A and B are shown apart, each in its own frame.
Chain A
Amino acid sequence: MSEVTNVPEVGLKGLLRFVWRQLTSMRTALILLLLLGVASIPGSLIPQRAQNPMKVREYFASDPTIASWMDRLSLFDVYGSSWFSAIYILLFISLIGCVLPRSLEHLRAARALPPLTPRNLHRMDFHQMWIGSGEELSVAKSWFGKKRFRIRDFEGAMSAEKGYLRESGNLLFHLALILILIGVSLGALFSMNGEAIVNVGERFINTPTTYDDLSYGRLFRDSSLPPFSLTVDDFKATYNPATSAPEDYTLKVSVIEKPGAKPVSRIIKVNSPLGFGSTNVYLQANGYSPVVTVKNKEGEIVLQGPIPFLPQDSNMTSIGAIKVPDTSPQLGFVASFLPTAARDKVRGGISSYPAALDPRLLLSVWKGDLGLDRGIPQSVYRIDTSKMQKIGLKALKVGDTFTYADGSIRFDGVEQWVNLQVVKDPGKGYALFGGILAILGLLASLFTRRRRIWVRVNSEGTVEVAGLAKSGAPGLAEEIDQLITDLRRANP
């Protein structure tokens, strides 16, 4: 926290030194800190791509001009934007420029002894004077020693100081913040985050192609994916019968940690992921996959198996699409799945309870062109029916078959799917360690009082005591009173 006092010298070197001093001054650090707070605000009020991509798309749909201007200012990616980064990078440079010199200075000061006893003690705070017996200095020395003060003896006087921990804690706190930043940066460079929907009974192999969605940190490579695989053995969701609120999700998996290793049974819950070193597997969402068999006119099976549907409400009313691209013309089933079927006057068929008590599959059958070859990525839960023709409409119970002109579909049963999130973040350990150190540092710096006490006995036997509390630390008056009481008691 250097003071900016001298006028900048002329020339590049002088200019640089001036900029450095400005940047590492306390005032700049304070402004940057407040600026960081202010800069965080827009990201909490405007939807962000990373958290809420759907809302961002709505912005673009409702007013493309304003949305594109907002996008140019990175308002949909505030926390990854250049202006946000600029603030915290400057803040951390300022912090480093401030903390490192202070740490060195503190190390020097920690080895040094307390300063000389001031000549005019009566000018200091809490000054007291009385005629003593001459033994006061040795009593004071043991008193300070017991209280772990640093002591410096002089001829007829003594300086004692305590509370170096305050500055140590302060520096530890700021160094710990740097450690957190290092952890966050490591995470940004070497992390991965992927999601995959897996039906119960299916196997998940940790390779890039098995993911539905996968993103890497800047320096993450495919080869860094840990080579595990797991099979989803069972998934159980329990709900409160009165409120329909979920009470528990339990996912049972068999894990093969490395190719060739024996499978091990493990349980994953919402708050307890499965861990492999710095990689964790989380249970993030779940839903139903109706199992169907689709046959063509000739009675040959053209599609069979569980199709994941997307839940729309808390009772798991789900929507989905069954696409049969290999027939000619192509077939598509726009479908809803109701785990416990009920009717609503406004919404029509809905689910009244999240568990599969009375499952129903509502279908509308379309034939024509699914549009899969147009190169535009499609949602697996929706069908573009603009080039298709509706040929039937039906509600099926488990075991029912619906036969239409071009074939038939049978609703075989229901399975559940889980959305697994796999995250590897090698920086999180550093961030956590930094967080713990930061709290310890804060406690030390906010609860340690730094103070000096002086005792002098002059040749006539007059005892003088005075003290100084740094940054107005409270309690020194009481401490000095205690010292004086003890000094006087020791010499009746």
Chain B
Amino acid sequence: MTHTSLAYLSNNFIYSAMAVYTLAFFAHAYETAFAVRAPQSDVVDPAHGNLLVKTFDFKRTERAARIATAFMILGFLLLFAGAVARGLSAGRVPWGNMYEFSITGALAFSGAYLFALRKYDLRWLGLLVSISVLLTLGTAVAVLYRPSAPLVPALKSTWLVIHVSAAIISGGVFLLSNVIAAAYLYLDSMEQKGARNRWAQRLPSLEVLDQLSYRLVAFVFPLWTFSVIAGAIWAEHAWGKYWGWDPKETWAFITWVAYAAYLHARVTVGWRGRKAAWLCLLAGSTFLFNYVYINIWGTGKHTYSGL
């Protein structure tokens, strides 16, 4: 297959993925809507007629969630195919400019979600995950699109594969942990005002969310460290200096410091709950700032890709 037809194929895969993520979004929206209006199925004492347990029937919710998850998996596969075709069309890894970062970043984020789904029932997060993937892909296609092209000499290195893939995967997991920390804060304030709303009844306990958000960070922090060090090795090969306080480097370091502080706060000082969740969000926002602000408005050596 020629390079142009592969690039064309990649675009079609990505459009299809967007369509499927839209379906996933609607399915998750139905899921949430069903959860909000879940019929009450209280257990009543048959002898005296008084209320024993107040429960809700989430059967319809469950059905919608299953359909939504099927769409999420399909969307992931299509997006994966799109990224692979894009890479093949240019004869390299598909992260040479910001359009491609966005595609692979969205892929990593939804991949992290599906990976975590194997162990934890996070389907209630699907609404947020699908909408953020959709927005990212939409921006990528509408604003950031660049025709598939070979790399400039500065990017021709094995370290591009190693350094950037580690950074993208770390980013996907950091964001997922942030979404969970945000959910923690939201549910916590709901509980402090009284009981959880009906739709939030089936969501995991605060303790589980707190632990999960921490575990994701602890799991991926060594990878982020590796990504920063791999970047330093590459910088030494390409720029003659392993650390030059380039804006992107600086923010990668700030993110590292913020997550290091988060891990210390949890493990050594014993922070839990709200304080830890806020610190997690702070650290995650430094990552997002680096990705969005420094890539688009920043100056420095990481901006050769023309976005």
Contact = CB atoms under 8 A, between A and B. Distances in A.
A435 B153 contact: no
Contacts of A435: 229, 232
A270 B149 contact: no
B154 interface: yes
A475 to B, nearest CB: 12
B300 interface: yes
A26 interface: yes
Contacts of A78: 245
A43 B250 contact: yes
Interface in B189-227: 211, 218-219, 221-222, 225-226
A272 B153 contact: no
Contact of B152 (A246, A423, A439, A471): A246
Nearest to A35: B257
Nearest to A55: B299
B73 interface: no
Contacts of A50: 244-245
A133 interface: no
A442 B221 contact: yes
B237 A240 contact: no
Contact of A33 (B211, B234, B237, B260): B260
A79 interface: yes
Contact of B261 (A33, A51, A280, A432): A33
A182 to B, nearest CB: 14
A459 interface: no
B149 A243 contact: yes
A27 B156 contact: no
A125 to B, nearest CB: 16
Contacts of A27: 269
Contact of A40 (B149, B236, B250, B294): B250
Contacts of B218: 446
B261 A30 contact: yes
B257 A34 contact: yes
B238 interface: yes
B264 interface: yes
A34 B258 contact: yes
Interface string A24-56: 001101100110110011011101101110010
B157 interface: yes
Contact of B153 (A79, A270, A280): A270
A94 B177 CA distance: 30
A438 B225 contact: yes
Contact of A43 (B226, B245, B298): B245
B288 interface: no
B254 interface: yes
Contact of A439 (B229, B260, B264, B267): B229
Interface in A243-273: 243, 245-249, 269-273
B42 interface: no
A391 interface: no
Given A30-B261, A37-B257, A79 B150 contact: no
Contacts, number: 123
A247 B229 contact: no
B240 interface: yes
Interface in A91-137: none
B50 interface: no
A284 interface: yes
Among the interface residues A41, A282, A446, A472, which one has the most CB atoms of the partner chain B within 10 A?
A: A446
Given A270-B156, A271-B157, A428-B236, A37 B222 contact: no
Contact of A446 (B221, B244, B268, B299): B221
B120 interface: no
Given A48-B245, A423-B241, A432 B233 contact: yes
A479 B261 CA distance: 31
A30 B222 contact: no
Nearest to A48: B245
A55 B247 CA distance: 14
A431 interface: yes
B153 A44 contact: no
A269 B253 CA distance: 28
Contacts of A44: 245, 247, 250-251, 254, 294, 298
Given A47-B299, A79-B245, A240-B150, A40 B254 contact: yes
A37 B240 contact: no
Contacts of A249: 153
B240 A51 contact: no
A427 to B, nearest CB: 10
B244 A51 contact: yes
A38 to B, nearest CB: 8
B196 to A, nearest CB: 24
Contacts of B240: 193, 273, 280, 282, 284, 421, 423
Contacts of B264: 26, 29-30, 33
B299 A52 contact: yes
A90 interface: no
A443 interface: yes
Given A273-B237, A421-B240, A37 B261 contact: yes
Contacts of B221: 442, 446
Given A27-B269, A30-B261, A37-B258, A245 B241 contact: no
A202 to B, nearest CB: 21
Given A34-B261, A428-B242, A439-B225, A269 B153 contact: yes
Given A30-B269, A280-B240, A271 B257 contact: no
Contacts of A439: 222, 225-226, 229
B77 interface: no
A472 B300 CA distance: 43
Given A40-B250, A271-B157, A273-B237, 14 more contacts: A26-B268, A30-B269, A37-B254, A40-B253, A44-B245, A44-B247, A44-B254, A44-B294, A51-B300, A193-B240, A245-B152, A421-B240, A432-B229, A436-B229
22 contacts: A26-B269, A30-B261, A30-B264, A33-B264, A37-B258, A37-B261, A40-B250, A43-B245, A48-B245, A50-B245, A78-B245, A243-B149, A249-B153, A270-B156, A271-B154, A271-B156, A272-B237, A432-B233, A435-B229, A438-B229, A446-B219, A446-B221
Q: Which 7 A-B pairs have the closest CB atoms?
A: A37-B257, A44-B250, A271-B157, A435-B229, A44-B247, A270-B153, A423-B240
